Amino acid sequence: MSVFHRKHSGSSKNLPVLLSSEGPSNFHADGLPDLVQDQVHGIANEVHEVVNGKKATIPSKTIDHFRSYPLVQQTRSFLHQIPVARVVLSNTKPMVKQVLESKPLQLALPVTNAVDSVANLGLNLTEKIIPSLKTKTYQRLGEEAMIPYHFTAKYGKIATDQTFAIVEKNVYNPAHSQVLKFRKYYNEKFYDTKGKPLVRSTFDPVTAPVNNVFEKLTIKYFPNGKDVPKEGYSSELNRSLALFINFVSRTAPIVEQNVLTITMLPCNYAKHVNDVFNKSLDKQPQMTLKYSWTASKDAVKQLEREMIRYVKGKSPTKMLKRSKNTIQENVEQVENEIQAQVA
């Protein structure tokens, strides 16, 4: 169906212009380059589909390209685990879909296609300049942020080890050698201590049982670690020092773990609260504001019940009773072991 329309101008003659809605087949772009002709025909086809009521697909090459980056994928995964983000996303999806399918946006589709292609080319160019965009993750970013710390720790340890080696070579070894020579001299001339120190070895009958009890308790409560040999020490006092160093080496990882646990308590509890809200949301039939409010109330009630149980379990009377029983058992055990060693 064709319609004639006359242009209004200052001229006395009005030239007729033919407007047609039959389709883009009547359009001619002779004389233009082939690439421009293809783009013009493509835009004409899209406009024709919109005029005839057909809904075209909104271009998403740039969005899909952007979503392919690991950092974006990890960010989306993190946001999908946050209850507030889940509710917002669920309630805004219908509105976004309605806007994308609206008539004005459909009419602007040719321009949107061009912008999408240009933006996608921009991402391709960015990848050529920064290739790590295609492989970078939050874990890798954390490793790169820790590079200065690891560098400092590595060379700090090297410097410390070299310092101790120099001190041992130039100070300890010469002094120890002189002590051994003096011990050998008075063993030959005055009193034979069988290679043991004259003063320190006199305390061996007392320190040996204490060392044995201390060693058993250390192994019992801190089993992870190397054993201290019973032979090879000039006196039991020297072995006491070795046992103490061994005790520190066994307890250090546990202390570090406890410090880390205490430090991470706020983060761990925040994660637990997030998980409780997510589970409560999963039980709801929908994620509308009404059901989201119901899920929030259920989650808060559950957290309150957990807090009450925790406070009851940590009441002073129960803690004092448990502590008293534990101390009494430990004292009795130490007394029995000392009596066994003395006997």
At 274-295, the pLDDT tens digits run 999 999 998 988 888 888 899 8
Name the one residue in this structure whose structure tokens are 């040999």: 229
131 in a structural domain: yes
Q: Same structural domain for residues 140 and 64? A: yes
Query: For residue 254, what are the contacts with CB-CB under 8 A and spacing of at least 6?
Result: 222
Residue 20 pLDDT grade (very low, low, confident, very high; cuts 50, 70, 90): very low
Tell me the mean pLDDT in the region 131-160. Answer: 86
Q: Same structural domain for residues 139 and 154? A: no
What pLDDT is stored for residue 316 in this prediction? 67
Residue 3 pLDDT grade (very low, low, confident, very high; cuts 50, 70, 90): very low
Q: Same structural domain for residues 281 and 227? A: no
What pLDDT is stored for residue 38 in this prediction? 57
Domain that holds residue 155: 147-192
> Which of 111, 127, 145 is the C-terminal boundary of a domain?
145
Which range has the worst mean pLDDT, 4-13, 260-269, 287-296?
Answer: 4-13
pLDDT at 191 over 80: no
State how many domains the chain has: 4
Q: Same structural domain for residues 82 and 136? A: yes
For 118-133, write each residue's pLDDT tens digit: 888 998 898 889 888 8
10 in a structural domain: no
Gap between the Cα atoms of 105 and 113, Å rounded: 11
Tell me the mean pLDDT in the region 94-100. Answer: 79
For 195-220, write each residue's pLDDT tens digit: 666 666 677 788 888 888 999 888 88
290 in a structural domain: yes
Q: Same structural domain for residues 164 and 131? A: no
Which of these, 273, 275, 222, 274, lies nearest to 250 by C-alpha position? 222
Q: Same structural domain for residues 175 and 100? A: no
SS3 337: helix
Structure tokens at 263: 């430090």
Higher pLDDT: 115 or 233? It is: 115
Q: Same structural domain for residues 305 and 329? A: yes
pLDDT at 52 over 60: no
What pLDDT is stored for residue 7 in this prediction? 45
Q: How far is CA 99 from the centre of its chain?
A: 37
175 in a structural domain: yes
User: How much of the chain, in percent, has pLDDT values that exceed 90?
Assistant: 5
Gap between the Cα atoms of 16 and 22, Å rounded: 18
> Which of 112, 128, 145 is the C-terminal boundary of a domain?
145
